[in-house]
Amino acid sequence: MTRLAAFDTFCARLPGSYMVVQWGGSHVHKVGPKMFAVGGGFPGEDGYVFKATPLAFQVLREQRVAIRAPYLPRGNWLRVEGGAMSNKELFANIEQSYRMVVASLPRAEKAKLGG
């Protein structure tokens, strides 16, 4: 299984998540109307985007593990390239992103998720 396929499988297991392909082939994972992770993109790229806590945003950038996600200048979105993180680390960050996005959903959207 490719890393992108493992990423898609992991994201699909999160309650209420779904994927759309947009922006030149990026795998955009959403919950309700909001995005929580992006994988892939243009041919030859192996990058992943997720929303980070303010502390993780600072630390991962200082350690040069991630960069501010292009085209997402607000909200602590990071882009991690290729093998900069293990799958375990990447998926933990994606799960945190999912939780932050779910917490920001309107009450009606949360109710659809059972929360």
What pLDDT score was predicted for residue 44?
A: 59
SS3 content of the chain, % helix, strand, coil (to 5): 40, 25, 35
Which residue's structure tokens are 């309650």? 15
What pLDDT score was predicted for residue 41?
A: 73
Q: What is the DSSP letter of 73?
A: -
Is-above-0.75 flag for pTM?
Answer: yes
Q: Does domain 3-112 have CATH number 3.90.1150.30?
A: yes
Show the low-confidence residues of the chain (pLDDT under 70): 42-45, 115
Domain ranges of the chain: 3-112
